[in-house]
Every structure is written in structure tokens, then in C-alpha cells.
A and B are shown apart, each in its own frame.
Chain A
Amino acid sequence: MTQVSMTVNGKSVSAEAEGRTLLVQYLREGLGMTGTHIGCDTSQCGACVVLVDGKAVKSCTMLAMDADGAEVTTIEGMANADGSLGTIQQAFQDHHGLQCGFCTPGMVMSAAALLAENPKPTEAEVRHYLEGNLCRCTGYHNIVKAVLAASGQNVDDLGAVAAE
């Protein structure tokens, strides 16, 4: 075992890891931060998406040791300082962007990565960017709506289209 250190949600953290410890295992088991989910474990579903140095990655397909020294942001880092829901989280709640909630941490982190590089995406751009995040409940309409709302765009018309 080796001590692996990184910055997670702005805090310096350290935990033991083996060579084969995945970043998601390091977060969940090493640090006890279970907000990041393991869905498929094959880098297809996107439930484990976190930001590493500002870039969305699937934490089930990155070694913890390869993230040594990195700046990592997880779903636990998305709330406001006072504990209230952050903008993207609030938009998911307002627009019913989740049902069972299993995919939600990855969806929110992918949405954060998208909005960081493209602050006013079109509906098509949101759908395309989220292609590596699978949701089995919502049919995606309300997730897309939530991301567009989080970007500050009016989504009233979108609701009408989705409901047809």
C-alpha cells in the first residue's frame, strides 16, 4: 500500500491505495465519500464521473495513483458553501431531472464539465455531451431541461415539446 494524496473539493486528502485501486474506490472506500457511484464498472454508464483537473473522467477507469496530486471535484463539492443545493443540483430538483437518483452524481458532474466549456449549450449539444451518461428512469428529457435551466436559459418551450 502507498499513501496517495490529492485535493478533493478543495481539501487536501490522503489515503492508502494499491496500484490497482481505482479512483472511484479511493474516493468511496479510502475517503468514505460515497456520493460518486459505481454503476457498470466498465466506463459505459457514467455514474462515476468526477472532474480531475477540471475535466470529466470516469473514475472507474482511472487509477488512484494516476490521480496523485490532482485537483478532484466530486458531487459532494457541488453544493453551496452554506450546504444548500448548487445551481445544477437545484435545477435537477426543480425540473425533475432524476427519479431513482443513481445516475445523478455523474449527470451533475458531466453537466458541470459541459457548462464550464460551453456556458450556453443548445439542447442538441446537451444531449450529445451526455451520451456517456446513462439514465434508466427519466428518458433524459428532464435531465436535458435541468442542464439548460442551470445554464440560465428559458426551458418553458422545451417542456411543451417533450410532453407532446
Chain B
Amino acid sequence: MYAFDFVKPSSLDEAVAALADEGAQPLSGGQTLLASMKQRLNAPEKLVSLRAIPELQGVRREGDTLVVGAATTHARVTTEAAADYPGLAALAGQIGDPAVRNLGTIGGSLANNDPSACYPAAVLGSGATVATNRRKIAADDFFAGMFTTVLEEGEIITAVHFPIPQRAAYAKFQQPASRFALTAAYVAQFADGVRVAITGASEGGVFRWSEAEAALSADFRPEAVAGLKAPAEGMIGDLHGTPEYRAHLVGVMTRRAVAAAR
């Protein structure tokens, strides 16, 4: 890693002020950022740790919405969201391994928007709202392609507001070395319809599979999507799987998620 300055503010206002400096970047759990800095893929001049800011921590229910603070670790979401939103808690419990889940955070995962990360699928699949220090952004507008979001310089995610669905589940085909999703589907059923979000598959990052949403909104059973095929065009091809293989997994994992939804 190249040298950098480190600050650890204790309030959001201090963090925002610290991030105004040239070359400053926020550091949340660091489970991706530190690895990329070791490889010199990223070289911030200053890191602003978000770990000591109380207003970014914790899980709380507000009516039919579950609010997750941006710096809440995957381990905390696994336990603290289990009663109110089991589908989300189960997803958080499948990220990385226990030690990674003790540091990695939801806000960090979303800001990074790895095309194979788990959390983007839950956020898009739930139709959640991403709150920042400046605005509220609908999940449908937040993700802007592989490793890209609409976040601006100096903008920090503060919380994610999840509408709690009637039923939901995440079905992940794990890439065994990285434990990221080779392809995974998040399915959530609401009173007004079903949302299906796919991660790990597309060159464009997480996306909604609208054909499956239409079919499942009419008939919420695995059989309802059995005849649907996602196109291989635009899917990721690498040593772990071809675009055709990932397109096939989109259907398989969607059916598994529907079967597992509770």
C-alpha cells in the first residue's frame, strides 16, 4: 500500500468535512478497499474511517420498513434483521466468511457495487431506498453499472431503507474461492407484485429480471418461471463460467429463491 493519512471522525458532519480534502476516500469495513489498495489498484491520499460514527450503526424497524445503518456489519444484520426481515438476514449471513462479516458493511458493499456482490441484489430486489448525507436514492436509480453508482464525490451512504416484503429469499451459487456470487437471485413478493434481482451474472452489474417478475407476480411458484430463459448476451464470461452458463444459472437460482421464499 502507498502511504496515506488516516482519520476516524466520530460524527457524520466531521466525516463529510474530512472527505472534502483532495484524494480523500471513506473507509467502512475495508474488506474490499484495503485489498485493492494492497494491489495498488486504489491509492487514496487520505482514508476517513466510518467505524466510529454512531448514527451510521444499527438495525431498526420503522413501521413496514427496516432501516439498516450504512456502517452496520454483515454479522449484525444477520442477527438483528432475522426477526423482521429473514430474507435479508439470510443474505447477509452468506457473505464472505465469519471474520469478513464482522468487518464488512452494507454501505461499503453498495458504494463499491461489485458486479458479484450479494447486497446489491437485496437492495434492488427489495426496492429499497439508499439514504445519503445529501438525498434519498431509489434502488432502481442507484446502481449505474459495474463498480459504479450515482454517488457523488463526498457523498456518504447513511442508511438503507428496506420495505419489508411478504416473502423473500436469496439463492446464491457461490464461487467457491472468493465466496462471491457466481450468479445469485433475490426474489421478494410484495402486495403489489414481485421483484427479482440478479447479481453475479451481468457485465452491467445487478439487474432486475422483468420477465420473471411478470410471471411471478401472476403465479408465485418455481414452475411459473420454468420456461423463461435469460439471454446470454451481456453476461459475464470468465474462467469460472461462460455467459451461457451464467444465463442458465439466472433461471435456476430464481426458481430456487422462489421455492425458498418465506
Contact = CB atoms under 8 A, between A and B. Distances in A.
A1 to B, nearest CB: 11
Contact of B99 (A18, A19, A57, A63): A57
B54 to A, nearest CB: 15
A110 interface: yes
A11 interface: no
Contacts of B49: 63, 65-66
Interface string B29-42: 01100110110000
Nearest to A49: B99
B37 to A, nearest CB: 8
Given A62-B30, A66-B49, A132-B97, A20 B102 contact: no
A20 B103 contact: no
Contact of B96 (A20, A110, A132): A132
Given A41-B38, A46-B99, A132-B97, A20 B2 contact: yes
Contacts, number: 74
Contacts of B98: 56, 110, 113-114, 129, 131-132
A68 B30 CA distance: 16
A58 interface: yes
Contacts of B47: 19, 63
A61 B8 contact: no
A24 to B, nearest CB: 12
A66 B8 contact: yes
B114 to A, nearest CB: 14
B75 interface: yes
B7 to A, nearest CB: 9
Report the contact-size class of chain B (Cβ under 8 Å from the partner). 20 to 34
A83 B34 CA distance: 36
28 contacts: A18-B3, A19-B3, A19-B6, A20-B1, A20-B3, A20-B37, A43-B31, A43-B35, A46-B97, A55-B75, A56-B99, A57-B102, A61-B34, A61-B35, A61-B100, A62-B34, A62-B103, A63-B27, A63-B30, A63-B34, A65-B8, A66-B49, A110-B98, A113-B98, A114-B98, A129-B98, A131-B97, A131-B98
Interface of A: 18-20, 22, 41-44, 46, 49, 52, 55-58, 61-63, 65-66, 68, 110, 113-114, 129, 131-133
Interface of B: 1-6, 8, 27, 30-31, 34-35, 37-38, 47, 49, 51, 75, 96-100, 102-103, 177, 179
